[in-house]
Chains A and B, each alone.
Chain A
């Protein structure tokens, strides 16, 4: 039974949210309570499946799932002449890590959302879109087929756009969704052109097969640029970040927390393309430096734009851009020394581990921060920092969760942000000291900015008009508590997390031949 579940887990991870999504409106006809129970049930099952699959992948190595084949692991049909023609899901350690991030974040956010979004109307479509987002994220991170990647990317962006526009809010939310969706549609089409180029050149859509045939011709270079810029735009790196603050600030807070995970799925796609599809065939130094420069620009512009913001969620959105820069920096340094084994061993792997560790940490503490912002909005009805003050008297638990998130994002020990940032600083210092110094200055500015937010929301005397404000409801606190617990646990036991989750993921990402062998057999 257990073996059967693990074998089919990659398909279940897509199937469960899809079934849940399209059944939710009908089940909602019975009563909203039943719908909530249904959505929670689906999300719990998805999370358990993701954890089960991840534990298997981390123990026994890459799992593949071939749709429509006689056996789920029969990647190459016997009569096809060595070409995998079916759609294949390839779950290696990196994919499994991203699935766990998506599932755990999704679960915590859903708990929060059931309480926070109760005030909205039209909830049946809200949860459909929410679960579609989960399905899109799961599909993007586990697929081993480029066109399939595009399809899930589009599912994810359509669902996200619908959710961003969900609180129409006098048209403001729709404006944000419009900007997001115009950009992401064009980006997705550009990705499709790149996929077409690969197909025309190698007659294949399977990532492993293309990787094994990769020549890095002129066409491949064009496709690389098209796909890198599109995915960098989707993960919000400067100077293509303009949609991020709009979309993050206007979406409901629970959705914003999921958008963070969604943008990290795009980041995963970017890493998958450069490491698995191209690996050493590309000019690692040049492409690595492109990613590093995008990362540094994101860090600096993101944090400096955050400081003068007056809308708390807009401010946090700029910080999300800035933190994405750290991941690009860490993994970009790893890419820049790819193929040079001594340098890779001395700091390349550590840099990649730092970048990947930062992905999971960022998903947790940024989700937590957006949820606290949502809890404050739930009680006082505004995001404007100028109108806030003195809420620490009445919303004590929210304040504690906010402090945990803010210290984690600023890289203060003993929270998880410190561990990953330390890895990034030290390995990047070995690569280029200037970059490490920039990274530290950005951290200091992050702390400065969150001191401002903390002061203006929670400090000071009780303001007139907010005398009757109460603590956030218990389900919202539980959702925040799940994320806060993970933030603290990862901060207290960083090496255990790195050994258990991050290092296998980083090595799986850098190991192209392992990925190819898992799909095409030992050839």
Chain B
């Protein structure tokens, strides 16, 4: 049960993030929801990589115990970097929309429809 805690946290965080995206009308809050969802995904990846009693995969004078495969950490790092890029781009969109529309309420940002 205890080992499932990270995965329960992942589900909870994803639901919080997605619920924020769906229910909040403020653009910045939507972006925060996306970020929470990203954090959930990153937590999911990093908890997949956990091995009980494993050591870091550095071969120089390493004891001959189990080593942790470094792939999930690499994935998480990549995913965090991509997350930063997406956040930056989304926020820059919010800036321009605020300048041009004068609002960041999604109910007002609907000049393109039908």
Contact = CB atoms under 8 A, between A and B. Distances in A.
Given A154-B86, A246-B112, A178 B97 contact: yes
B93 A158 contact: no
Nearest to A193: B41
Interface in B76-100: 78-79, 82, 85-86, 89-90, 93-94, 96-97, 99-100
A177 B95 CA distance: 13
A174 B111 CA distance: 11
Interface string A162-182: 100100101110111111011
Nearest to A183: B21
A54 B37 CA distance: 39
Contact of A182 (B21, B48, B82, B97): B21
A192 interface: yes
A200 B97 contact: no
A108 to B, nearest CB: 28
B109 interface: yes
Interface in A281-295: none
Contact of A151 (B14, B82, B109, B112): B82
B98 to A, nearest CB: 9
A189 B45 contact: no
Contact of A174 (B45, B78, B96, B114): B96
A161 interface: yes
A185 B97 contact: no
A143 to B, nearest CB: 14
Interface string B30-58: 10001001100100110010000000000
Contacts of A170: 100
Contact of A158 (B72, B85, B97): B85
A472 interface: no
Interface of A: 85, 147, 151, 154, 158, 161-162, 165, 168, 170-172, 174-179, 181-182, 185-186, 189, 192-193, 195-196, 199-200, 203, 205, 245-246, 249-250, 309
Given A165-B93, A185-B90, 16 more contacts: A147-B75, A158-B89, A171-B111, A174-B97, A175-B101, A177-B93, A178-B90, A178-B97, A179-B112, A182-B34, A186-B21, A192-B79, A196-B41, A199-B72, A205-B71, A245-B112
10 contacts: A162-B89, A168-B100, A171-B99, A175-B97, A176-B112, A181-B89, A185-B86, A186-B34, A189-B34, A189-B37
